[in-house]
Structure formats: C-alpha cells, structure tokens
Amino acid sequence: MIRFESVTITYPDAERPVLRDVDLAIPEGELVLVIGRTGAGKSTLLKAVNGLVPHFTGGTLTGRVSVDGRDTRTHPPRELADVVGYVGQDPLAGFVTDTVEEELAYAMESLGVSPAVMRRRVEDILDSLGLTPFRDRSLATLSAGQQQRVAIGSVMTAGARVLVLDEPTSALDPPAAEDVLAALTRLVHDLGITVVAAEHRLERVIHYADRVLQVGDDGRVRDSTPNVAMHDSPVAPPVVELGRLVRWQPLPLSVRDARRAASTLRDQLSSMARPGGTPTRTGESVVSVRALEARYDDVVALRRIDLDVRPGEIVALMGRNGAGKSTLLAHLVGLNKPHAGQVRVAGHDPFRRSSAELNRDVALVPQEPADLFYTDTVAGEIAADGTGDRARFLLDRLAPGIDGTTHPRDLSEGQRLALALAIVMAAEPPVLLLDEPTRGLDYPGKARLVDLLRDLATAGTAVILATHDVELAAEVSNRTVVLADGEVVADGPTRDVVTASPAFAPQIAKILAPLPWLTVAQVRASLAASAS
C-alpha cells in the first residue's frame, strides 16, 4: 500500500537531511506506529505519505514514495485525498466548515458520496468518537481535544484507505484516547484500513501497534516489531521502563501483561517503606478563586469553582475534554471576565490589570505555543523581552541543539513548546500556567521539563498545569484537581486522587495496585534503598 524507496528528504538551508535513505513497504491493514525523539523527523515521514512533503513544505525529495501505486512526486495531496486522509497536530487549522456535522460531511460531499451513505457514515463516526452531543456545535467553541476527535472523524468518514495521524491522542483525555484508538483498531481489523500514526504517549498506543518505525537522530528509519523496538528505544513508556528495571522477559507492552509479571515485585515492595508524600505547602494563597462561574453563550463552562494555590505548589488540573480546564486558566490570566464569582492572582483581579502589570504576576503557555511567536527566528524570540540569556539557557535545558537562526514555525511541535516554555519561564513570574505542556514532547523532554518545574517550585513559583498526561501528574504535581462538567469533583494529594480513578491512574499505579508507588523513579529508589 505504501512504499518508500531510497527516500532522502532535505529542507532548504538544512545542514543535513531530515530523513536519509529510507526503504519501507507498509502493506494494507496494519497499524504502524512512528516513534523517535522530538524533532527527529516523524512529522516529515508522515507528510511524505500524502505528498505534503515536498509539495507544501518545500525541500528536496530524492527516491520515490508511492501510495496505492501513485507516485507522490507527480500526484499532489489533492490527487491523493481519496486514498490518504491526514490529520496534523493542529486540527483547527484544517477545518473548512463551521459545525461538527458539516465538517464530518465535507470531504464526502467533495468526493461525491451519496446522501444516504453520507448520513450513515456521519452517524457512525459521531457515535464511535463520542461526538453526538456536539453535532450542532460550532467548531470554534470546542475544546482542543474535541476538535482533534472531529478532525480524525472527518478523514474517517471520507472512506480513505490510509489514515496518517500526527499525535492523534495528544489533546485527548484518557477515556477519549481509548475510544479513538479502539475505533482505529476496528478500522484496521475489520476494514483493512492502513493507519500510520506518530505518537509520543506510547503508553496509550504501543500495545495496539503491528509495527514500529523508529526515526533516529541521524535521519535513518528502523522498521521492527513493538517488542523488538522497545528493547533499546530511547523513548519508552513507563510499563517498558519498569520491565527494563526489573529485567522482565519478554518486556510487557500493556498494563495487563505487566500485572501478570509483577506478583514477585509487589511482594518485594510490600515489605519496603512507602514512597514519601509531598509536604503540604503553607502560607498565603497566591491564587484565590471563589464561586467562579463562566459561560460561552448558552454553554456553562465553570460552575462555582473554589480554588487556592500557594507559592511552591505544583497543581495538576485534570478532567475530560471540555471539562473547563482551559477556561479556568484563561480566567487566571485575565483573558476572560467572570460571569460570577471572584478571581485573585497575586492579590489582584487579573481581568482588571494592564498587560505590563499582569505579566509581573502570571504567565500562560497556551496549547498552541506558536500563538506567542512574532519574530522570524528562534534567536529573535529569545531576545524579544530582555531575558535572552536565561531564555536560551532554559531552551537548551528543555530541547538542546536548536539553531537560533531557525524560523519558529519550522520547529517540531515539541520544539515550539520548549521555546514557548523557555520564553515564558525566563521572566520568572510568581504564577505559571501551562496548558497541555507535554504535547509533542518525548519522554526525555518530559523528564527535563519535570526537573525544571521542580526547580521553579522550590524557588517559590506556583505552577498550575492543565493536562491529560497522567504520567506527568504522577511525576511532578503535589496536588491534583479534577474538573467534570465545569465543577471540581476531586481536590487532594496527587497519590490519593489519581489512584482513586482508573481513568486517571498512571501505568505504575495500575500495575502495582494496591501499593502506593506511582512512578518508575519511585520503584527504582525503593529497590536501591533496599539493596544498600
């Protein structure tokens, strides 16, 4: 179905090819997972499948890429649309209509699908992706995760035989991600659809994959099975890291397999001291929210929210897509005016502060970090606000090796996020708000972010991160607040909150339950202490 023959891709002014001598043959009806470090070239590989590289991105492609016998050099993306459906990392940029149902039907209308078939496909996708309640909603009013489900649905309804997905679950809550992956698996198994997906959150998808393509830092691509790939991959989910630590053979790829292998480990840990909890922060609240209510037209987004955050706390804000997480952050940074209630950040109402005053109190890194960029080089962005030396230091700590002459929009999703984080954190605001801060980050990048956030908290910064990444919450947060339908339904120490809900529990907690270990690092520390 898909063939790469001696493919090398080089972008203008690049020192080396981003992909080098790639030879692949992907047959019909497989789910292929593309993995690699942030910026390695995964998105380039995906875009080469439907001709976006080089027809849209530019650059030079040598060799041959063909899909269902069509050469992408002579068939631009529009001539492959009936065969290949592509969903990028920014779904909103690809929408062409106004409402959910219209967007799901648009591609079929363009391809001349009959009305009866269109109606049936739309209903099937609305149900399978949990979009039925939103069928008449404006796309602009949906959360990022809901928009991503619509984008995936729009290419599924078109009947493409190849689906190419870039970070398909990155903006989805855990239950929604499971629903999407289950729908993709049904397409592969029942209809013979070929799915090629790049994903950093391997804990969600590795056990579904038939094959794994590892994109190396040298641009070469290694084709292997999931079990073989995970033995030495520099990016691996917690279940694999735990298996490596305790030397399980074969390496488990799913929680179910790991639980079967973990009885001896659970017995060993049960006699050890429990991992220490995070001390409760004291002092006056730097963030105070009282009875906050928010609406978008007739949609109630927040209902009587009460929240206090103290200096040095790291609070994970979790919940399903559309629960109100981003709306709450928008109120804390003064972007939205409350319909009712009160918001105070550093003692002031953020909505009534000038930009200069607000920037001294609080900073937000949004879900789309490119919204913060306005110069044409990385160096220009770093130098723009007078904190260039510290911003460059932070960028090198989060994503080493980024050339200062690179245009910010030519960076990978994870590199753009690292740049936005470095710029915002360099100003050292007392309150830092992060909206999906690991979207596009690989596991090493996430670990560097965790270390940096811990340093900021130690220095007294209050951090609130809205995230669907349960592994991040387990690693870094002191406290977790869960929203549902705009209301706080849980607020407490992270260990207590995440282990109380199977949907939001990290992999290690599921494997070792009912023991209180949440992360591989905690298990490693306990085993090391026992051996010493």
pLDDT in tens, 339-385: 999 999 999 999 999 988 888 899 999 988 888 898 999 999 998 87
| Interatomic CA distance for residues 376 and 174, integer angstroms | 36
Question: What's the Cα-to-Cα distance from 489 to each of 217, 372, 453, 483, rounded to whole Å?
Answer: 43, 32, 26, 6
Answer whether 459's CB lies under 8 Å from 452's CB: no
Burial of residue 29 (number of CB atoms within 10 Å: 0-12, 13-18, 19+): middle
In a domain, 428, yes or no: yes
Phi, psi dihedrals of residue 271, rounded to the nearest 5°: -95, 0
Could you tell me the CATH number of the domain that includes residue 305?
3.40.50.300
| Interatomic CA distance for residues 271 and 497, integer angstroms | 24
**The pLDDT of residue 199:** 92
Q: 296 and 259: one domain?
A: no
In the block, which residue shows the tokens 């690809």? Answer: 94
Q: How many residues does the chain have?
A: 532
| Interatomic CA distance for residues 74 and 323, integer angstroms | 45
Task: State the chain's mean pLDDT as an integer.
Answer: 91
Per-residue pLDDT averaged across 228-242, rounded?
94
Domain count across the chain: 3
Q: 59 and 166: one domain?
A: yes
pLDDT band per the 50, 70, 90 thresholds, residue 507: very high
Answer whether 346's CB lies under 8 Å from 311's CB: no
In a domain, 276, yes or no: no
| Interatomic CA distance for residues 514 and 110, integer angstroms | 53
**The pLDDT of residue 280:** 66
Q: 354 and 458: one domain?
A: yes
In a domain, 279, yes or no: no
Question: What's the Cα-to-Cα distance from 360 to each of 52, 288, 348, 528, rounded to whole Å?
Answer: 42, 17, 11, 43
Better pLDDT: 281 or 482: 482
Q: Is 208 strand, coil or helix?
A: helix
Q: 40 and 183: one domain?
A: yes
**The pLDDT of residue 252:** 96
**pLDDT surpassing 90 at residue 72:** yes
| Interatomic CA distance for residues 305 and 330, integer angstroms | 14
Q: 448 and 470: one domain?
A: yes
| Interatomic CA distance for residues 95 and 211, integer angstroms | 30
pTM for this prediction: 0.87
Better pLDDT: 484 or 410: 484
Q: 160 and 178: one domain?
A: yes
In a domain, 280, yes or no: no
**The pLDDT of residue 277:** 67
The domain in which residue 464 lies consists of: 287-500
In a domain, 278, yes or no: no
Better pLDDT: 412 or 84: 84
| Interatomic CA distance for residues 470 and 464, integer angstroms | 14
Q: 302 and 254: one domain?
A: no
Q: 326 and 381: one domain?
A: yes
Q: 391 and 505: one domain?
A: no
Q: 261 and 326: one domain?
A: no
Residue pLDDT, tens place only, 154-181: 888 887 899 999 988 887 888 888 888 8
Residue pLDDT, tens place only, 289-336: 999 999 988 889 999 999 999 999 999 999 998 899 999 999 999 999
Answer whether 89's CB lies under 8 Å from 35's CB: no
Tell me, what amino acid is at 326? S
**The pLDDT of residue 50:** 92
CB atoms within 10 A of CB 458: 9
DSSP H helices, 97-143, are 100-111, 115-128
**pLDDT surpassing 70 at residue 396:** yes
Residue pLDDT, tens place only, 20-35: 999 999 999 999 999 9
Mutual angle of helices 144-157 and 115-128, in 10-degree steps: 140
Residue pLDDT, tens place only, 259-300: 999 999 999 999 998 887 666 677 899 999 999 999 988 889
The secondary structure of 151-181 as a DSSP string is HHHHHHHTT-SEEEEESTTTTS-HHHHHHHH
**The pLDDT of residue 530:** 85
Answer whether 165's CB lies under 8 Å from 154's CB: no
Q: 301 and 433: one domain?
A: yes
In the block, which residue shows the tokens 């849209």? Answer: 56
Q: 147 and 228: one domain?
A: yes
In a domain, 281, yes or no: no
